[in-house]
Amino acid sequence: MSTRRHFIRNISLSTLGAYTLMDWKPASALSFFNSDAVLKVALLGLGGYASRVAEAIQQCQRVKITGLISGTPEKLKQWGEKYKVPEKNRYNYQNFDAIKNNPDIDAVYVITPNALHHDQVIRSAKAGKHVICEKPMAISAKEGREMIEACKKAGKQLLVGYRMHFEPLTLEVVRMRSAGELGAIRFFQGLCGFRIGDPTQWRLNKALAGGGSLMDIGIYALNGSRYMVGEEPVWVTAQETKTDPVKFKEGVDETITFQLGFPSGAEASCLSTYNMNNLDRFFLNGDKGFAELQPAAGYGPIRGKTNKGPLDIKNPLPQQTIQMDEMAAILLDNKKPIVPVDGEEALKDLVLIEAIYKAVKTGGQVKLNAER
Q: What is the pLDDT of residue 35?
A: 64
User: Do 113 and 226 fall into the same domain?
Assistant: no
Supply the CATH number for residue 266's domain: 3.30.360.10
In a 13 Å sphere around the CA of 275, the CA atoms on its Cβ side amount to 15
User: Do 334 and 348 fall into the same domain?
Assistant: no
Domain around 54: 22-182+314-341
For residue 186, the SS3 value is strand
- Over residues 149-160, the mean pLDDT reads 98
- Over residues 241-269, the mean pLDDT reads 98
What percentage of the chain exceeds 90 in pLDDT?
A: 88
> Does residue 351 lie within any of the structural domains?
yes
User: Do 174 and 233 fall into the same domain?
Assistant: no
User: Do 250 and 265 fall into the same domain?
Assistant: yes
Determine the Cα–Cα distance for residues 21 and 237; give it in Å rounded to an integer: 39
> Does residue 129 lie within any of the structural domains?
yes
- Average pLDDT over the chain reads 92
**pLDDT band at residue 313 under the 50/70/90 scheme:** confident
User: Do 243 and 321 fall into the same domain?
Assistant: no
**pLDDT band at residue 11 under the 50/70/90 scheme:** very low
DSSP character string of 41-110: EEEE--SHHHHHHHHHHTT-SSEEEEEEE-S-HHHHHHHHHHTT--GGGEE-TTTGGGGGG-TT-SEEEE
What percentage of the chain exceeds 70 in pLDDT?
A: 90
> Does residue 210 lie within any of the structural domains?
yes
**pLDDT band at residue 369 under the 50/70/90 scheme:** confident
Q: How many structural domains comprise the chain? A: 2
User: Do 237 and 169 fall into the same domain?
Assistant: no
> Does residue 224 lie within any of the structural domains?
yes
Q: Is the pLDDT of residue 30 over 50?
A: no
| pLDDT tens digit sequence for 283-300 | 999 999 999 999 999 998
Supply the CATH number for residue 170's domain: 3.40.50.720
User: Do 103 and 176 fall into the same domain?
Assistant: yes
User: Do 238 and 130 fall into the same domain?
Assistant: no
> Does residue 302 lie within any of the structural domains?
no
Q: What is the pLDDT of residue 370?
A: 53
Q: Is the pLDDT of residue 314 over 90?
A: no
- Identify the residue with better confidence: 33 or 130: 130
User: Do 170 and 318 fall into the same domain?
Assistant: yes
What amino acid positions are annotated as catalytic residues? Answer: 135, 220
> Does residue 308 lie within any of the structural domains?
no
User: Do 355 and 223 fall into the same domain?
Assistant: yes
> Does residue 372 lie within any of the structural domains?
no
In 3D, which of 353, 138, 149 has the Cα closest to residue 256? 353
> Does residue 255 lie within any of the structural domains?
yes
User: Do 152 and 279 fall into the same domain?
Assistant: no
User: Do 130 and 199 fall into the same domain?
Assistant: no
